[in-house]
A and B are shown apart, each in its own frame.
Chain A
Amino acid sequence: GQNIDQPTEMTATEGAIVQINCTYQTSGFNGLFWYQQHAGEAPTFLSYNVLDGLEEKGRFSSFLSRSKGYSYLLLKELQMKDSASYLCAVSPTDSWGKLQFGAGTQVVVTP
């Protein structure tokens, strides 16, 4: 079966750093995605990891450890507009064409 876990909610202040963890147990692995979704809007792509290590994109970084079934999304220099839900999604090998989404982590940025 597929299991993707991430915290439900995190709160941080503007300018701070927040790390959103995601653990997964899936049938095979072909990459992990992070998406950002503002309330009432479509998810937008943030990052993709298929090899172990850190991928950095501006204020956002994503890390993957395949042996541990673990990823995190790091948001630096938080801005109010970063308040959103962050979805971890895994591409399993036994489900061609499918992405398995976690339940999402709601990040609340306070002044």
Chain B
Amino acid sequence: DTEVTQTPKHLVMGMTNKKSLKCEQHMGHRAMYWYKQKAKKPPELMFVYSYEKLSINESVPSRFSPECPNSSLLNLHLHALQPEDSALYLCASSQSAGATGELFFGEGSRLTVL
């Protein structure tokens, strides 16, 4: 199983809503990532979890709250988002968060904030 599964694939939410994006991998990877990607731009790193601990937060606003309940799951909790937060949110995993390692990406959750 070499898949990273993300749900939902599409999400539309208002600025006052609270929603969550979910990510799951069963490859035994110990590092998981959230990236944000706007149209025609490269993915931008948001968070890195290594061995279920948050190791990198790229100065992401607190309206995005990550959670790693166990080594296979990664959530991104969303609250009070802005329209400019509309983007494709990509989850990825790798064997470890060391200097090298192929990232396996999920298909992404396309978020629209109204």
Contacts and interface: CB of A to CB of B under 8 A. Distances in A.
Contacts of B55: 96-97
Interface in B28-86: 31, 40-45, 48, 50, 55-56
A96 B105 contact: no
Main secondary structure of the interface of A (DSSP, over half): loop
Contacts, number: 59
A43 B105 contact: yes
Interface magnitude class on chain A: 20 to 34
Q: Interface centre among B31, B50, B99, B106, by most A CB within 10 Å?
A: B99
B100 A45 contact: no
22 contacts: A30-B100, A33-B102, A40-B110, A41-B107, A41-B108, A42-B105, A43-B90, A45-B102, A45-B103, A87-B42, A89-B42, A93-B99, A97-B55, A97-B97, A98-B45, A98-B48, A99-B103, A101-B44, A103-B42, A104-B40, A104-B41, A106-B40
